[in-house]
Structure 1
């Protein structure tokens, strides 16, 4: 089993978690270490964006 097969992706087109890169790259978010993290992909993206926005605001 390759290292990529041990990682998880969130497929934004289907809303499903995939083990290993199964779908087109344009549809995938990841990789994540666990299926639970991949399932939260959209939340994680929102959290990171909010953090970066706060950091940018603090720098100004």
Structure 2
């Protein structure tokens, strides 16, 4: 069994770059962690899809669909 943790990836909203491992920017500019570089690259799209879904659910809950 390995003591090594899986590599995690973050998306830096300030630079638009993917960061990996333990060296990363301030939490104020980061989305993640993500399990793969590709998932981190899609961070903004993923966040938009989730926000859109939550807004639809809230509108349905409030009866404003």
TM-score category, normalised to shorter length: 0.7 to 0.9
1:55 alignment partner in structure 2:
57
Query: Where does 1:2-21 land on structure 2 (aligned, <5 Å)?
Result: 2-3=5-6, 6-21=7-22
Tell me how far apart the structure 1 counterparts of residues 13 and 41 of structure 2 sit (CA, whole Å): 10
TM-score (normalizing by structure 1): 0.86
2:27 alignment partner in structure 1:
25
Runs of 4+ in 1 over 3 A off after TM superposition: none
Give the CA deviation at 1:56.
0.5
Partner-residue secondary structure (3-state), 1:50: helix
Number of positions where the alignment pairs a residue of Structure 1 with one of Structure 2: 58
Structure 1 stretch 20-29 or stretch 39-48: which is displaced more?
20-29
Q: Which has more radius of gyration?
A: 2
Tell me how far apart the structure 2 counterparts of residues 12 and 50 of structure 1 sit (CA, whole Å): 19
